[in-house]
């Protein structure tokens, strides 16, 4: 009996932590452009402007310079909904990802899917927390639904960070990948990975509640 109580407590704790990571992950950046990008851009700028620069031999360098110069500046951050440019002195220059950044059809659908499934992750997380509390009194009733909800919550979190990883590695609508534009995955992405793992672990542990 004591063993089952410990499992219930662990499941409840996992539900709280998984929900916390999912909710916080919605508000913190998924991607960030490091400050080092500006140093790289400055170095390429000097190379391109050098009298010895030969465009016929260094076309790749020029292409890289053009790509970096045309992408968001250093210290830019991106949540699931907004892009904040790093050169905003007043901190208010933000754009909506659906309307102004992922503007083509495929990119727009992907970012909307990530946003929507992230909300689903949070909603399922709340349901998991409530059901986890009921395992102390109605374990036989909530055990199987809770295990299923934990699994669905983990799957939703995986879809969210999976879509963002796809945009990061492969780009969209013929645009270059975010990785090639000096974006780095950051806290929001990590939080959803953690939330996914915790939910899946909780799903398995729930089956041991009796």
d(CA 132, CA 78): 33
Q: What's the pLDDT tens digit per position in 142-197?
A: 999 999 999 999 999 999 999 999 999 998 887 778 888 788 999 999 999 999 99
**pLDDT band per the 50, 70, 90 thresholds, residue 204:** very high
Q: What's the pLDDT tens digit per position in 92-120?
A: 578 888 888 888 888 899 999 999 999 99
pLDDT, position 107: 87
d(CA 78, CA 122): 19
d(CA 187, CA 195): 12
Please choose, from the candidates 181, 159, 136, 197, the residue with its C-alpha nearest in 3D space to the C-alpha of residue 14.
197
Query: Sign of torsion, CA 46 52 54 60?
Result: negative
pTM for the full predicted model: 0.85
Higher pLDDT, 72 or 4: 72
At the top level of CATH, the class of 2-33+73-206 is: mainly alpha
Q: Enumerate the CATH 1.20.140.150 domain ranges in the chain, comma separated.
A: 2-33+73-206
Q: What's the pLDDT tens digit per position in 14-72?
A: 999 999 999 999 999 999 988 776 666 666 666 666 666 666 666 666 666 666 666 67
pLDDT, position 58: 65
State which H helix or E strand residue 95 sits in: strand 94-96
pLDDT, position 92: 56
């Amino acid at each position: 009996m004591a063993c089952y109580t410990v499992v219930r407590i662990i499941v409840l704790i996992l539900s709280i932590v998984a929900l916390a990571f999912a909710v916080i992950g919605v508000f913190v950046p998924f991607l960030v452009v490091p400050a080092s990008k500006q140093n790289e851009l400055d170095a390429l700028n000097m190379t391109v402007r050098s009298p010895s620069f030969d465009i016929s031999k260094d076309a790749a360098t020029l292409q890289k310079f053009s790509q970096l110069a045309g992408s968001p500046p250093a210290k830019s951050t991106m949540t699931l909904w907004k892009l904040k440019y790093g050169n905003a002195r007043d901190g208010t220059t933000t754009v909506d990802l659906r309307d102004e950044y992922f503007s083509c059809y495929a990119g727009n659908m992907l970012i909307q899917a990530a946003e929507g499934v992230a909300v689903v992750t949070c909603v399922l997380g709340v349901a998991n927390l409530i059901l986890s509390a009921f395992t102390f009194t109605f374990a036989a009733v909530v055990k199987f639904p809770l295990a299923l909800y934990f699994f669905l919550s983990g799957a939703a979190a995986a879809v969210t960070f999976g879509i963002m990883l796809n945009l990061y590695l492969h780009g969209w609508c013929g645009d270059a990948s975010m990785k090639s534009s000096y974006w780095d995955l950051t806290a929001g992405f990590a939080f959803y990975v953690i939330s996914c793992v915790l939910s899946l672990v909780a799903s398995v542990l729930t089956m041991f509640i009796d």
